[in-house]
């Protein structure tokens, strides 16, 4: 990609069709004014909201403008418990008010549609452009609908849900499960790795199975995994399926979806089709659309300098969370996005103060999974910067998995969630 220092009147524009380089219009706004400079952040999820809060905590002379279309934050972690009927949408929803009132983050409720690197502005769907000195981009994931041709239309997407961005689809999928007669089959199709939240689909199968066991005992879960085996906490999930959901969950590895027959309620596979009363299809994923100009790997993910979180494609733009090309064995998780948000905030503040960033950053990850209403398991890892090749490497001997599913871990899971919500938004 052409460097912006060499380009004139070029900008980065996102549209429904994708993102492209093109000529700027002539919109103008006042230059950034605050004493410490201004950081614009696209996306108020786990990465972006955390970065917004921590920049303000580290240097309150820096103005932070957080651009996010949603009125409230709805958490993907714990959203599978809503499908199981053990939590409500309200339980996984947090307002953005503390970020604004306690930390002085300016929240702009809008969608970023384009990034103008020459003018240093983010363009919005509705409001005036937002000027910045530095930009952080944390839009999460978007779906590669082209991998499932019949799912391209809005109508198909309103019938066969993913519920992989928590919010209205979570509530809608729960309603579909409630409306399904006892004896029906719920089919969950998951893509090849990498995708958002490695253990998430397996946890979802457990949660839906827990609901069926209690309320619709003749119903079944079929989990179609495009991967050759369970990608996270395999032995622990398999034990949960055998001990808790024997005869309810059927796990089928090497079952990659090639399309969906929406009217026929059928997932089409490379070999054979699977019909269900409720389909839940997770397409392959890539960086959120607005991050498309910064994609450097496999047409999907954005590589960064791990010391500054600066894009390898464009200077002055920092990228976080699920949009990243991760380090080896680094999951796309909320714990990671939250940790990256803090590390990025510290690096951005250092750069804006003319200081060097931390030259030895470390990130930790813990992913809990609820396998019933009370029992949980976890996997943990530590990732440290390696100055040799600039990668974040897992620290040998660090982390690991639970010895067995148990209720203590179940209590830890809820505490983890409350803690990360407070850390991200409180
Ligand atoms: C069912 C499920 C369960 C999960 N469970 C866990 C778990 O137990 N533990 C764990 O650690 N992780 C879990 N995850 C993963 C976790 O949710 C993600 O890794 C995390 O949300 C990534 O953070 P992010 O900031 O990159 O993206 P997000 O949190 O998705 O935030 C992206 C934000 O950007 C906004 N946005 C996008 N485009 C634009 C734009 N153009 N303009 C303005 N705003 C925009 C979106 O509205 C959104 O608010 C789970 C995920 C799922 C789906």
**What domains lie within the chain, and their CATH numbers?**
2-69+110-143+287-357 (3.50.50.60), 145-285 (3.50.50.60)
- The residue whose CA has the least distance to atom 5 of ligand 1 is 77
- Is the pLDDT score of 10 beyond 90? no
> How many CB atoms neighbour CB 129 within 10 A?
21
Pocket-testing residue among 94, 166, 188, 196, ligand 1, by greatest number of atoms within 8 A of Cβ = 196
pLDDT on residue 35: 83
Which residue owns the Cα nearest ligand 1 atom 8?
A: 77
pLDDT of amino acid 382:
97
pTM tops 0.85: yes
Selection from 326, 347, 328, 348 nearest residue 337 by Cα: 326
Dist. CA 349–CA 231, nearest whole Å: 37
| Mean pLDDT along residues 29-34 | 55
Identify whether the C-beta of residue 143 lies closer than 8 Å to the C-beta of residue 102. no
Residue-wise pLDDT tens digits, 320-346: 999 999 999 999 999 999 999 999 999
Distances, alpha carbon 380 to alpha carbons 271, 368, 372, 397, in Å: 35, 9, 20, 11
* Nearest-CA residue for atom 3 of ligand 1: 77
What is the pLDDT averaged over residues 157-171? 98
Residues 240-243: contacts with CB within 8 Å, 24+ apart?
A: 240/206, 240/371, 240/372, 240/375, 240/377, 240/405, 241/205, 241/206, 241/209
Residues with beta carbon inside 6 Å of ligand 1?
A: 42-48, 67-70, 76-77, 79-80, 111-112, 138-140, 164, 196-197, 200, 288, 290, 321-322, 332-335, 337, 367-368
Which mutation among 334, 344, 365, 376 tests ligand 1's pocket best, with the greatest number of atoms within 8 A of CB?
Answer: 334
Kindly write down the DSSP assignment for every residue of 22-71, as one continuous string. Answer: EE------PPP-STT-EEEEE--SHHHHHHHHHHHHH-TTSEEEEE-S-S
Indicate which residue's Cα is closest to atom 52 of ligand 1.
76
pLDDT at 424 (0 to 100): 98
Distance 141 CA to ligand 1 centre (A): 7
Lowest mean pLDDT among 14-23, 129-138, 315-324, 391-400: 14-23
What is the DSSP secondary structure assignment for residue 165, as one 8-state letter?
S
* Cis-peptide into 194, omega within 30 deg: yes
Q: Specify whether the CB–CB gap between 386 and 392 falls below 8 A.
A: yes
Cα 287 to chain center, whole Å? Answer: 9
Residue 285 Cα, ligand 1 centroid: separation in angstroms? 12
| Ligand 1 center to 153 CA (angstroms) | 23
Report the distance separating Cα 376 and Cα 40, nearest Å.
38
3-state helix, strand, coil split of the chain in percent (to 5) is 30, 30, 40
Task: Choose one of 109, 193, 197, 300 to mutate for the ligand 1 pocket test, by most ligand atoms within 8 angstroms of C-beta.
Answer: 197
Confidence of residue 20 (pLDDT cuts 50, 70, 90): very low
* Pairing label, strands 185-190, 220-225: parallel
Cα–chain center distance at 337 = 8
Spatial separation of the C-alpha atoms in residues 229 and 278, rounded to whole Å: 23
In whole angstroms, give the CA distance from residue 16 to residue 290: 10
Helix axis angle, 46-58 relative to 334-352, nearest 10°? Answer: 40
- Beta strands (DSSP E) in 153-241 are 185-190, 220-225
Backbone angles phi, psi at 425, to 5 degrees: -125, -5
Q: Which atom of ligand 1 is nearest to the CA of 45?
A: 31
- The protein residue with its alpha carbon nearest to ligand 1, atom 4, reads 77
Ligand 1, atom 49, residue with closest C-alpha:
45
**Ligand 1 centre distance from Cα of residue 270 (Å):** 30
Beta carbons of 296 and 313 less than 8 angstroms apart: yes
What phi, psi does 360 have (nearest 5°)?
Answer: -145, 60
From ligand 1's centre to the CA of 344, what distance in Å?
17
Give the chain's mean pLDDT: 92
In the predicted structure, residue 108 carries a pLDDT above the cut 70: yes
């Amino acid at each position: 990609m052409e460097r912006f220092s060499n380009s004139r009147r070029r900008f980065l524009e996102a549209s429904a069709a994708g993102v492209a380089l093109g000529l700027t219009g002539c919109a103008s706004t006042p230059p950034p004014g605050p004493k410490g400079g201004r950081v614009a952040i696209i996306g108020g999820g786990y990465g972006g909201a955390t970065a917004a809060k921590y920049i303000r905590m580290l240097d309150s002379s820096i103005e932070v403008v957080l651009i996010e279309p949603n009125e409230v934050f709805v958490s993907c972690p714990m959203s599978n418990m809503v499908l199981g009927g053990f939590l409500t949408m309200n339980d996984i929803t947090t307002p953005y008010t503390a970020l604004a009132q306690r930390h002085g983050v300016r929240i702009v409720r809008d969608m970023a549609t384009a990034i103008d690197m020459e003018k240093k502005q983010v363009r919005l769907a509705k409001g005036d452009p937002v000027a910045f000195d530095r930009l952080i981009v944390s839009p999460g994931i978007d779906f590669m609908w082209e991998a499932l041709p019949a799912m391209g239309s809005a109508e198909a997407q309103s019938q066969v849900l993913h519920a992989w961005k928590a919010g209205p689809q979570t509530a809608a999928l729960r309603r579909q499960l409630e409306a399904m007669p006892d004896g029906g089959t719920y089919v969950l199709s998951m893509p090849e790795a990498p995708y958002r939240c490695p253990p998430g689909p397996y946890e979802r199968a457990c949660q839906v199975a827990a609901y069926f066991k209690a309320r619709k005992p003749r119903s079944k879960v079929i989990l179609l995994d495009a991967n050759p085996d369970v990608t996270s906490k395999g032995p622990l999930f398999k034990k949960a399926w055998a001990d808790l959901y024997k005869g309810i969950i059927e796990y089928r590895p090497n079952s990659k979806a090639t399309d969906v027959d929406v009217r026929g309620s059928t997932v089409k596979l490379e070999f054979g089709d699977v019909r269900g009363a409720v389909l839940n299809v997770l397409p392959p994923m890539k960086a959120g659309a607005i991050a498309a100009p910064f994609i450097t790997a496999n047409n999907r993910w954005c590589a960064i300098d791990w010391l500054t979180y600066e894009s390898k494609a464009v200077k002055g733009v920092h990228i976080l969370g699920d949009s990243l090309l991760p380090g080896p064995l680094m999951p796309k998780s909320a714990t990671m996005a939250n940790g990256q948000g803090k590390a990025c905030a510290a690096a951005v503040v250092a750069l804006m103060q003319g200081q060097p960033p931390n030259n030895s950053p470390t990130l930790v990850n813990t992913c809990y999974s609820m396998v019933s209403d009370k029992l949980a398991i976890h996997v943990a890892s530590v990732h440290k910067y390696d100055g040799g090749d600039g990668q974040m490497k897992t620290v040998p001997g660090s982390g690991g998995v639970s010895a067995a599913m148990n209720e203590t871990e179940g209590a830890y899971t809820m505490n983890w969630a409350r803690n990360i919500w407070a850390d991200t938004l409180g």
